[in-house]
Each structure stands twice: as structure tokens, then as C-alpha cells.
Structure 1
């Protein structure tokens, strides 16, 4: 997610295939393609791109490409988790949600989650929930530890599109009822890599929102995380806009829709929104398609003001995405194609 904050300058309809293997025919040979295991760490409510990114993940579930294991949150406040629960319920998925503990107070209090959660018709709430008591949500770090402990070694991809709060806390987490391993040991054993939206490589004067809102956690994550990290910096998502025209015209098959309600209440319509968080999702799930360019290996440095710089180092664990105009146009078209797919839950009723 990315609200802009400057201190200085600035195809196929889905089918539900969950928890099983796909098989593709290559030269008449059957090849197993196991769905990717994904954890989506979000500050849902600070920007609408988190909601667009989550829609992508639901579509990937239904296309058999991923298993979405958990949605830990890094934004404080009940509307973050409640909106996620509404999205889960509306799309027909039951993904465990975690709420942050000791989270940052620096955030963008965008009203779209609150508006969606409180929307009423004839005196009744419009959107159903699965979890009606906020206290019933997992705590984010406990959810991380539970899920990671249950997965095969070196199998989990974390997509982080909010603050680094949970990741920093996970690093320091002790052994618990889920695992005898420390946090860093559990990460090293279970996590394959992290795809994260953070920083600005192109403009070092820009204090990018995800980093700036919790600088100590971002520094800890970048400095101590033991697995590779692929960074989608601000300038990549800034170059690819999701069009308001699609929101206005391509979702008429089911109304009201919590994604659409959120989008139209985030900013005054019509507006085209940057796709920061979507790029981190796209890379993680479909990196073999090479939608993006990428840097050499190196190290991201974060100073105490939140400014980010990248130093090339063959021994480094970090890389960052790049995008040119041709790639940006291709990615924009792909985002529209994927997000406007009708969810499996509504496909039959829409076609009848």
C-alpha cells in the first residue's frame, strides 16, 4: 500500500482448486505444479491498493495458483481486520486474519474500510461477516508462528505490503506452543523469500510511507531477515495505474461489492490509483513470466529518517524490481484482466 508522503521533494474464468496440485502437459509429459504457499501481510485501510492486491490473491486461489495461508495485519484498529473479514466472506474464502500488537500510530486514517464496514441498507449492515467479535482474531505474530510451523521447510512466500512491524516482531519472537524454534530459526527454516513493497530507490529524498511509518521495524527487517528479499519500490507501482473506468464499468455483475465500495470511498471519483501493492503480489505469484526487470543482488539501507538507498553487493540478500513503459502497459492490462474476473462464488448466478 502506498499513500504518498514526502518530507522533502517527492481469460479464463476461475475455478476453485485449493490445497491440491495442478498438472500441466509439457511435450505430452505430465508435470506437477503445486500451488504456492503465500502469507499476505497488509496494512489494509491506509490505501485502496491493498484491497486490489487482495482481490488478485483470491483470483489466484480460484485459478489454482496459490494457497493463501494467512492475512496478518500491520495497521491498528478494528476496521482493518473487519474489512478483511468482509472481503473473505464476500469472496467465499476463510483465510485466518491476524491483528497487530503494539503497532505504529503513524498511518493514514483513510475512511474506506470504516465506510464499507458500516454501510447499511434498510437499517441493516450490507456486508456479512464470518467473525463478529474482534477479540476472536489471531494476533499477527502468533498467527505467523502457527502457520509457519505447519508448513514444509523452505516453502512459504511472504508478501508484505504494509509496515514491517509484524516481521520485526516475528524475528524476536520466542518459542511457544506452536514451535520450539525462535523466530529467526523458524523463518530460516520455513520461509523461501519475501516480496515486499517498500522504499524508493529512484528518489532518496522521498520517505516512502511503509518505511517511514515504522522506521525501526523496517530497519530490523531489512538488516536481520535471513532469507532473500525482493523489493518493489515506490517508483514501480507509481508507473502503473489501475483505471477508475474499470471500477465504474467492469463490476456490474454483483452489487454492492466491498472492493468497489472501498475504491469509490477512498478518493473522489474518478481517479486512477497506483498499483504499489499489486506489483509485489504479481512478482511473488508469477515471477516466471518476467513481467518486471530487476536489479543485481545487493543491500537496501534505511537511515534514521526513512530514506532508502541500495548498494550492489554480490553477497547481498536483496534485489529490487524495475519497470519500463512497455512492461508497465502490459502489467496494467493484466491487472485489469485478472481483477475483473468474476469470483467463483458468483460465476454461476451471473451466467444464469
Structure 2
């Protein structure tokens, strides 16, 4: 074989480099987000992080479903305003119709504001597609073992899914991993909010869910104070308004930031347990009692793990803030 000319070498090198990049580029992580978009604006921040990761090609957002019924009836509309802002207003959205178990009595400080001030085409929550139907429709169209579900609220939708006809089999076939923001590890001193919203659903999921579960406890997000950087964003950003409306401390969440429980869970769902950021527990399983207390139990045959932050939380805080402010 003759040696390429000096002019051909750069072309050959470029071709090899492109081929290597293409071969090594990871496919986007296919994500369904299950959120209690009502009580806390970290759910809005989580959707912002998910869209930012979709913009970089790291994630593909298959659907967003809500799992907590609020009297304002505007959770789906709030989700859709953020999806629309990021140019993905056609993402399927569903709501939990069995809301008596997971209702948020205090309404919502921010979802009506998003619904009323920003473009969207979502109906009131009680008129939106059922979350279970959205799950089944979306999962059935995906490749086997390709979907990551990220739950950042009550586990009600997930309980309903695995108890529905063929739901357990569908999850077992299509879902690669479930990431849950909930509980406290290795043991909770009191029931964590997401578990407390529907303890019976949490018990059902920890006992019957057929795929690996990665748990992110309350203690992780409590160390990640994010959101004050949204002040630099334009007023056209609905996530900024969510943080500006949500009371926190002696002011609003946007004033000094607030714990980023849900944003961190989305980051884990998409980027995984990078050991430079996360320490992952040994294999085991989570045990939840009827009151919603959680504890970790070592089990070498278990498929579950929980995470801790490696080092100080500063690097993760910066990463989340940057992802929330990409627009």
C-alpha cells in the first residue's frame, strides 16, 4: 500500500478521529420523569436540568408524569410551560388520577403562576391523560432494557403501573433502572416527604419493582443549595419564576437558593454514578415501614444501591446551577 501524500494525511487523521468519536459517543439516556410538581420548585429545576442534558445529547425525554394532586390543578400546565420554553412542547404529559392518596393540601405557590404567564397547551390536571396510560404507551414503544425512570415524588404512579394488567411485565422488559429521590440512608430519623406522601405505594415498589433501583436520600439534596443563579435569567424563563414565587426561609427560593433534591436525581439518572462525584453503596435493598421510615439492608443478592456525595458538595452544586441556567 502506498503512503498517502502529505495533503491526504490530515484528511485521513480527521476521518479516524470522527470515526473514534462516533464509536465512543454514548446514545442519549431515555428518561421518563415522574414528578410531584406542586409543593416545591426543585421539580421545576429538575425539568430544566433534564432539558439541558437533552440539549447536549445526553438525554432523550420520553414523557413527564405528575404524581401529586394539588387543588390548583395546574401541575401539568407548569410542566408544559417549561417543556415549551425549551422547545419540546410535544413531550407527552400525564397526571395521577388517584390523587386522594397523594394530594397536596396546600395547593401550590408557583404552578398557577407558570400556567397563567407562559405559553402551553396543557389542560387542567384532571383532564390530562392518565399517568398509567402514558407510561404504558411510551414504554411499549421502546427497545427492551432501554428506559430509565426518575421518580422525584410519591411512588403512586409506579405502584399503579406494576399492579396494572401486564404492567409488571412491561417494566421488567423495557426499564433498565429506576432512580428514586426518596428516603434517608442508611436509616431515616423520620419519614421523608416523598415516601410519606404515599407510604403504601413505597412499600409496594420496594417489594415488587423488578429492576435495579438507585436511591438518593434526603441527605444528598439537603447539601446542594442551588437556584440563586436563576436571578441572571430573563423573565421569560418559567423556572426563574417558579423559584421567585416559592417561599423559602425568610424570603423566596431564588434569594439564596434551596436544596436541589430533584435536580441531583435527574443528574444521576442521566450521567450515572460517576465516582468522582458519587460513592455508591454495596448491593442491598431498601426497607420501608407502613409509616414511611426507610432503612438500608445489606443483601448481596440485592439489586438496589444508594449514593453519597464524594467530598464537598460544591462541584455538584456548580454543575446543577450551570445546567439550570443554560437558556
Q: TM-score range by the shorter chain?
A: 0.7 to 0.9
Q: How far apart in 2 are the matches of 1:36 and 1:29?
A: 16
Mapped to 1, the partners of 2:316 and 2:18 lie a distance apart of 26
| Residue 131 of structure 1: how far off its partner (Å) | 3.0
Matching of residues 266-281 of structure 1 within 5 Å? 266-267=246-247, 268-269=251-252, 270-281=255-266
Residue from 116, 119, 124 that aligns with 1:128 = 119
1:1-352 → structure 2 map (5 Å cutoff)? 30-77=23-70, 78-93=73-88, 94-103=90-99, 104-107=101-104, 109-118=107-116, 126-132=117-123, 137-174=128-165, 182-202=166-186, 204-244=188-228, 246-248=229-231, 250-251=232-233, 254-267=234-247, 268-269=251-252, 270-287=255-272, 289-290=274-275, 291-326=277-312, 328-342=313-327
Q: Residues 26, 47 of structure 1: CA spacing in aligned structure 2 closer, same or farther, 3 A cutoff?
A: farther
In 2, Cα distance between the equivalents of 1:90 and 1:155?
27
Measured after TM superposition, the shift of residue 338 of structure 1 is 1.6
d(CA) in 2 for partners of 1:279, 1:231 = 11
Once structures 1 and 2 are overlaid, which stretch shifts more, 130-139 or 233-242? 130-139
Structure 1 position 109, deviation (Å) = 3.0
Normalising to structure 2: TM-score of the pair? 0.87
Distance 2:20 2:305 in 1: 34
Q: Which residue of 1 aligns with 2:6?
A: none
Question: Unpaired runs of 5+ in structure 2?
Answer: 1-16
The answer as to whether partners of 1:202 and 1:235 remain within 8 angstroms in 2 is: no
Looking at structure 2, the residues matched to 28 and 213 of structure 1 have their Cα atoms a distance apart, in angstroms, of: 45
Matched residue SS, 2:272: helix
Distance 2:189 2:125 in 1: 39
| Alignment TM-score, normalising by the size of structure 1 | 0.81
User: 1:73-110 CA distances to partner (integer Å, 9 max, x unpaired)?
Assistant: 10114211111111122221021100102122443533
Which one has the largest radius of gyration? Answer: 2
Q: How many residues align?
A: 301
| Distance change in 2, residues 1:138/1:28 (3 Å) | closer
Moved over 4 A (4+): 24-29, 132-136
Residue 289 of structure 1 aligns to a residue whose secondary structure is coil
More moved, 190-199 vs 287-296: 287-296
Deviation at 1:339, TM superposition (A): 1.5
Q: CA RMSD in A?
A: 2.0
More displaced stretch, 218-227 vs 96-105: 96-105
- 8 A Cα contact 2:187 2:296, kept in partner: no
